[in-house]
Amino acid sequence: MKFKKILAALLASSLAIGALTGCGGSKKEAGKDGDVIKVGVFLPLTGDNAAGGELELRGIKLANKLHPKVMGKKVELVVADNKSDKAEAASVAARLIEKDKVKVIVGSYGSSLSMAAGNIVKEAKVPAVGTSCTNPQVTANNDYYFRACFIDPFQGTVMANYAFKKGAKKVAIIQEVSNDYAVGLAKFFKDAFEKLAGPGSVIETANYQTGDKDFSAILTNIKAKNPDAIFAPGNFTESALLVKQARQLGIKAPFLGGDTWETQEFIDVGGKDVEGVAFSTAFDREKATTPEAKKFLEEYVKEYKGEPSALSALAYDAYLIAINGIEKANSLDTVKIRDAIAATKDMEGVTGKTTLDKNGDPIKGAVIKTVKDGKFKYLDFVAPGK
Amino acid sequence: MEIFQTIANMTGAALAQHVANGISLGSLYALIAIGYTMVYGILLMINFAHGDIVMMACYFAYFGIAVFNLPWYITVVVTVVLTALLGALIERTAYRPLRDAPKNSVLISAIGASFLLENLANYLFSGRPKRFPRIPILEQNVSLGSVQIQVISFVIPVVTILGLLILLHIVNHTKTGMAMRAVSKDYEIARVMGINIDNVISATFMIGSALAAVGAFMWGVKYPGITPMMGVMPGLKCFIAAVIGGIGNIKGAVLGGFILGMGEIMIVAFFPQLSGYRDAFAFIVLIVILFYKPTGLMGEKLMEKV
């Protein structure tokens, strides 16, 4: 009988844990609905993309701390974890809208996750501002999805130009095929690179799945083709393992990637093997020119220690876009908020001034970074439209 | 035919590299598959928490080396002991109370144990990946001509074969092993014959979990990003390996592991355009083999398990 009790205690504690991790944000029901304006935070806080999600949550919390009020009312963040899972993302987004009755949603990290919520926000007519979801499909044909980051056709072109400028004539692509972000980015890179170096200059395209750990087979194939550079957009953990295994197999070609690589875990897992990779991202201290950016840098270092990543900066800006929309609409009608967000022009944020185009995408430049001595280091800046 | 061209273009070095990769991956699967097969052999239940036991072992090793600064060889021992205890604890709390319940209840309990471990790890260690500690002696490269092999890739097959031999010895030549075989034949009768089946089943879980711990350690050295969900895919693959080999049969599990690991590498080697469908390969092989041999390659009709 004693063991039945222990079992019951174990089960009860597991339920408690589930409750703690599952809905950390909705714990405190502060005041009545009239006193606060609810903003949904829609991010992967567990699962494969958790590191990115947590960095963005930092940015949103910081923005909320510095800009806690809109229309004279307190902004309450309702944090929801989409668990890095497309199916979960759809139900979490529905819950934010139907149960928590948020006026606007901020997030997500990851294009696949944002796209999973696309139809839900569109049908409920609640605007969403993506943080770092760079695939064009997120905002295309969806009047209710906006974003704070640049999009993949631009990012892919930037990296193709960079590879070509560095003397690469034939490149290989290794993409995380179950990730809309990686597939889109790889396609735009391929289009841009073949325009520069001629058809057939992308000599191999290999695929892997999210969560894969062993890349030895595709890397052995690619080693035999001897490319000048390898473009490998994907999740940071898989990418770090991929680069590591490539070096272990004796592949010397430089690796290029996208903005997902800018997490400490990429360096932790990859170690010395990821030194010298190049990737595009949205923000760097070197380009922090606006007063908002200075405030952000100061507060971030105070609050979290260490250097902020582009993900935190983008999430900060996404929150600002959302709050500005509510302020300008001067109404809690979600359709009016949407219209105000769509009209965002020259809004000053951390990553520069944001103007949204007719798709809801901002027009902004990219920073190219590398890893040196275990730290991210600024390499170059590419202005928009190049 | 594209396939012939792929083979014709493949150099000897590349082929040798693929074979080395396949052996290394296959023996890792084999080691973890043994744990599945042992538990099934005795209890006729699938321990779905086995993959998560692998995950927990990775975290034990991480804390041993990175937090408590133990030398890696001592950490291996500590990890094996802790994981064996964890295996016994799971059996004690999640499976033993259901000993006389329908098989389905135990299966659900196993899935529950799996979720509990995943969420517990998520809560305790956070969802962000941690880097498995560096062990330079195992990570360094050996060059055989143009073939690059990590030391760990030599160690894994050796450990797997060693583990297999030790296990076969325990099962076939010791008293505990004899009791295990008796329980697997008919545990009601074994109980009547005076065998303490609770102890035998605990021992089975401890041995299976200890092997999982060894596998986890080598998994961590080879693929150093550890997360709370890392056990799910290896768990699934190794379960398939155990079924391919004939679940309940220890040698079969090793064979199944090698077939699966080698197959996954070779399908990418010979059909590079199929590289995204690598996981599907495991399931196709499973279906084809079960179609012709429903009990698996080395499984027997009468189910002489273990």
Residue B214's CATH number: 1.10.3470
The answer to whether residue B212 is domain-embedded is: yes
What count of other Cβ atoms lies within 10 Å of the Cβ of residue A224?
A: 16
Mean pLDDT of A217-242: 93
What mean pLDDT is predicted for residues B235-258?
91
First vs last C-alpha separation in chain B: 45
What pLDDT, on a 0 to 100 scale, did the predictor assign at position A9?
58
Model pLDDT for residues B48-63, shown as the tens digit of each residue? 999 999 999 999 999 9
Residue B159 has pLDDT above 70, yes or no: yes
Tens digit of each residue's pLDDT (9 = 90 or more) over A48-67: 788 889 999 999 999 999 99
User: Which chain B residues are Cβ-neighbours of A47 within 8 angstroms?
Assistant: 127, 229
Is the residue at B298 inside a domain?
no
d(CA B26, CA B21): 8
CB-nearest partner of B21 from A178, A209, A217: A217
Q: What is the mean pLDDT of chain A?
A: 88
Q: What is the pLDDT of residues B76-91, one digit of tens each?
A: 999 999 999 999 999 9
Which pLDDT score, from 0 to 100, does residue A23 have? 44
Tell the residue number behind the tokens 């991010």, with chain if given. A43
In the predicted model, what is the mean pLDDT of residues B279-292? Answer: 86
List every span in chain A annotated with CATH 3.40.50.2300: 34-150+289-355, 152-281+367-382
**Å from A130 to nearest chain B CA?**
21
Contact assessment for residue B278 and residue B271, using Cβ atoms and an 8 Å cutoff:
no
The pLDDT assigned to A53 comes to 92
* Residues in a beta bridge with A120: none
A233-247 as b/e, with b when 16 or more CB fall inside 10 Å? bbbbbbbbbbbbbbb
Q: Residue type for B161, please? A: I
What does pTM read for this prediction?
0.82
pLDDT in tens, A19-35: 444 444 444 444 455 68
| pLDDT at residue B282 in the model | 80
Q: What is the reported pLDDT for B283? A: 85
Chain B residues lying within 8 Å of A250, measured CB to CB: 141, 143, 146, 148
User: Domain A34-150+289-355: what homologous superfamily?
Assistant: Response regulator (3.40.50.2300)
Distance CA B148, CA B299 (A): 36
- pLDDT, one tens digit per residue, over A2-20 is 555 655 555 555 555 544 4
Per-chain mean pLDDT for chain B: 88
Is there a contact between A46 and A81 (Cβ–Cβ < 8 Å)? yes
**CATH architecture group of domain A152-281+367-382:** 3-Layer(aba) Sandwich (3.40)
Q: Which of A18, A47, A206 sits opposite B275 (nearest CB)?
A: A206
**What distance in Å separates the CA atoms of residue A149 and residue A283, rounded to the nearest whole number?**
10
Do the Cβ atoms of A239 and A261 come closer than 8 Å? yes
Min Cα distance A278 → chain B (Å) is 21
Count Cβ atoms below 10 Å from residue B187 Cβ, excluding itself. 18
Please give the Cα distance from A17 to B122 (Å, whole number).
Answer: 9
The domain of B6 spans: 2-292
Altogether, the residues listed in chain A come to a count of 386
For residue B7, what pLDDT is reported?
A: 63
| Residue B302 scores a pLDDT above 70 | no
For residue A1, name the pLDDT band (cuts at 50, 70, 90): very low
Looking at beta carbons, which residues of chain A come within 8 Å of B131? Answer: 265, 268-269, 271
Interchain pair A21, B122: CB under 8 A: yes
The residue among A177, A237, A266 with the most chain B CBs within 10 A of its CB, best to mutate, is A237
d(CA A373, CA A367): 19
CA A69-A72-A78 angle, 5° bins: 40
Task: Please identify which residue in the block is written with the tokens 């080598």.
Answer: B218
Q: Scan for tokens 């004693």, then name that residue.
A: A2
DSSP strands (E only) in chain B: 130-131, 141-144, 147-150, 225-226
Q: Span A124-147, mean pLDDT? A: 94
Domain total for chain B? 1
- CA B233-B239-B244 angle, to 5 degrees, is 125
CA distance A56 to A77: 13
The closest CB to that of A217, out of B18, B93, B143, belongs to B18
The answer to whether B17 contacts A209, with C-beta atoms less than 8 Å apart, is no
Over residues B221-234, the pLDDT tens digits come to: 999 989 898 998 88
pLDDT > 70? residue B37: yes
Q: What is the ipTM of this complex?
A: 0.84
Among chain A residues, CA nearest to B25: A214
Percent of chain A with pLDDT over 70: 91
- For residue B277, give the 3-state DSSP assignment: helix
Task: Output phi, psi for A229, to 5 deg.
Answer: -155, 160
Collapse the DSSP code of B141 into the 3-class scheme (helix H, G, I; strand E, B; otherwise coil) and give the result: strand
Cβ neighbours of residue A28 under 8 Å, at least 6 residues apart?
none
- Find the helix or strand (DSSP H, E) in which B94 lies: none
- The predicted pLDDT at position B127 comes to 78
**DSSP 8-class letter at B134:** P
Nearest to B235 by CA among B56, B44, B79: B56
For chain A, give the percent of residues with pLDDT over 90. Answer: 69
The sign one gets for the Cα dihedral B69, B73, B77, B82 is: positive
According to the model, what pLDDT value does residue A21 have?
Answer: 47
DSSP class of residue B303 equals -
Task: Give the pLDDT band of residue B9 (cuts 50, 70, 90).
Answer: low
Please give the angle made by the CA atoms of B288, B292 and B297, to the nearest 5 degrees: 90
Q: Using a CB-CB distance cutoff of 8 angstroms, which residues of chain A are in contact with residue B126? A: 50
With pLDDT > 70 as the criterion, what percentage of chain B qualifies? 94
Question: In B, which residues are within 8 Å of A17 by CB distance?
Answer: 119-120, 123
Distance to chain B for A49, nearest Cα, Å: 8
Q: Is the pLDDT of residue B241 over 90?
A: yes
Q: What pLDDT sits at residue B6?
A: 65
Q: Label each residue of chain A as H, E or C.
A: CHHHHHHHHHHHHHHHHHHHHHCCHHHCCCCCCCCEEEEEEEECCCCCCHHHHHHHHHHHHHHHHHCCEECCEEEEEEEEECCCCHHHHHHHHHHHHHCCCCCEEECCCCHHHHHHHHHHHHHHCCCEEECCCCCHHHCCCCCCEEECCCCHHHHHHHHHHHHHHCCCCCEEEEEECCCHHHHHHHHHHHHHHHHHHCCCCEEEEEEECCCCCCCHHHHHHHHHHCCCEEECCCCHHHHHHHHHHHHHCCCCCCEEECHHHCCHHHHHHHHHHHCCCEEEECCCHHHCCCHHHHHHHHHHHHHHCCCCCHHHHHHHHHHHHHHHHHHHHCCCCHHHHHHHHHCCCCEEECCEEECECCCCCECCCEEEEEEECCEEEEEEEECCCC
Kindly list the distances between the CA atom of residue A137 and the CA atoms of A53, A124, A147, A185, A360, in Å, as whole numbers in the listed order.
20, 19, 12, 12, 11
Q: pLDDT at residue B64 above 70?
A: yes
Q: Exposed, middle or buried, B238 (CB in 10 Å: 0-12/13-18/19+)?
A: buried
pLDDT at A365: 85
> Under a CB-based contact definition with an 8 Å cutoff, are residues A276 and A254 in contact?
yes
Instruction: Render pLDDT for A164-223 as a digit per residue (tens, 0 to 9).
Output: 999 999 999 999 998 888 999 999 999 999 999 999 999 999 999 888 889 999 999 999
pLDDT at residue B1 above 70? no
A271 neighbourhood in chain B, CB within 8 Å: 131, 134
- Residues ≥6 apart with Cβ < 8 Å to A372: A275, A276
- Per residue in A272-291, pLDDT (tens digit) is 999 999 999 988 887 777 89
CB contact under 8 A, A206 and B96: no
Residue A121 in tokens: 């926000």
SS3 for B165-184 is HHHHHHHHHCHHHHHHHHHH
Mean pLDDT of A331-356: 92
Q: By mean pLDDT, which of A73-87, A278-292, A323-337 is the weakest?
A: A278-292
Mean pLDDT of A320-343: 94
Statement: residue A228 has pLDDT above 60 = yes
* Per-residue pLDDT at A306: 82
Structure confidence by residue, pLDDT tens digits, B179-223: 998 988 888 888 898 889 899 999 999 999 999 999 999 999 999
